[in-house]
Amino acid sequence: MTITIEVCVDNIESLLTAQQSGADRIELCSALALGGLTANAGFVQKSLDLATIPLYAIIRPRAGDFVYSEQEVDIMVSDIKFMTLLGIQGVVIGALTTEGDIDEVALKRLMSASRDIGVTFHRAFDLCNDPKKALEILIDAGCERILTSGQQATAEQGCDLIKDLVAQAGNRMSIMPGAGVSPQNATKIISLTQVSELHLSGKTTRKSAMKPSATVQMGTEAEADSLISVTCAKTISDLVNVVNG
């Protein structure tokens, strides 16, 4: 069985690295350190210009929880329509109620806007109070897959639930483990859960080419100003080799 490798990126350098290292699909976002927010139009367009593999764009208007106001859902619907016009192959969405259920009203609107492209439901799923009920709701809505850590800190720790979700979904939907996936644990996760897709960012840092300032810093830690977060080519290629030879 061939395993599909999805890599999440938030800059064009990382997209090219992931693609060249053997990724099968890219999730586009901004602000990976915040869990991923909606990417800007220029980044999406340039990614579409350069990509030779499918691109999915996360639709998340802000950091924080996944309980959205009507106005925020309006923004998400507009972003989906705009991404579709640009030519994106799919989107990554999620919306919950205050009680931890799938927000079915918001979901209906988001799915309607996404009717011509693919849809992944992101790790908001890991905050659902009844994951097996949520799975059926998402299948009925028409989602292609769920990105999940099995409601644990990492996908490796969540293998028991992921295995149950795979069995429940059958051939109706793909369950894609994400969070802490690496070349070191990928084979174990696949063996325990029988999934056919994996998700990771494979992040590392590189030094900035800019000479540091002795007096000015942009954030709370001066060292962070000289480090650029990027996808690690070796991590992605090692993972691809481990799971697909």
What percent of the chain has a predicted confidence (pLDDT) above 90? 89
CATH of domain 4-244: 3.20.20.380
Average pLDDT over the chain, rounded to whole? Answer: 95
Phi, psi of 81 (to 5 degrees): -60, -40
Return d(Cα 212, Cα 216) in angstroms, integer: 9
Query: What is the reported pLDDT for 47?
Result: 98
**Mean pLDDT, residues 212-217 taken together:** 62
Q: What single letter denotes the amino acid at residue 214?
A: A
**Mean pLDDT, residues 8-16 taken together:** 98
Report the 3 state secondary structure along the chain.
CCCEEEEEECCHHHHHHHHHCCCCEEEECECHHHCCECCCHHHHHHHHHHCCCCEEEECCCCCCCCCCCHHHHHHHHHHHHHHHHHCCCEEEECCECCCCCECHHHHHHHHHHCCCCEEEECHHHHHCCCHHHHHHHHHHHCCCEEEECCCCCCCCCCHHHHHHHHHHHCCCCEEEEECCCCCCCHHHHHHHHCCCEEEECCEEEEECCCCCCCCCCCCCCHHHHHEEEEECHHHHHHHHHHHHC
pLDDT in tens, 106-164: 999 999 999 999 999 999 999 999 999 999 999 999 999 999 999 999 999 999 999 99
Query: What is the reported pLDDT for 223?
Result: 63
Q: Which residues contact 85 (CB under 8 A, 6 or more apart)?
A: none
pTM: 0.93
Query: What is the reported pLDDT for 209?
Result: 77
pLDDT in tens, 85-117: 999 999 999 999 999 999 999 999 999 999 999
Residue 221 has pLDDT above 60, yes or no: no
**Mean pLDDT, residues 218-225 taken together:** 61
Q: What single letter denotes the amino acid at residue 169?
A: A
Lowest mean pLDDT among 40-54, 108-122, 141-155, 212-226: 212-226
Number of other residues whose CB lies within 10 A of the CB of residue 216:
8
Return d(Cα 205, Cα 224) in angstroms, integer: 10
pLDDT in tens, 166-204: 999 999 999 999 999 999 999 999 999 999 999 999 999
Query: What is the reported pLDDT for 1?
Result: 78
Query: What is the reported pLDDT for 206?
Result: 87
Query: What is the reported pLDDT for 219?
Result: 62
Return d(Cα 225, Cα 143) in angstroms, integer: 39
**Mean pLDDT, residues 67-77 taken together:** 98
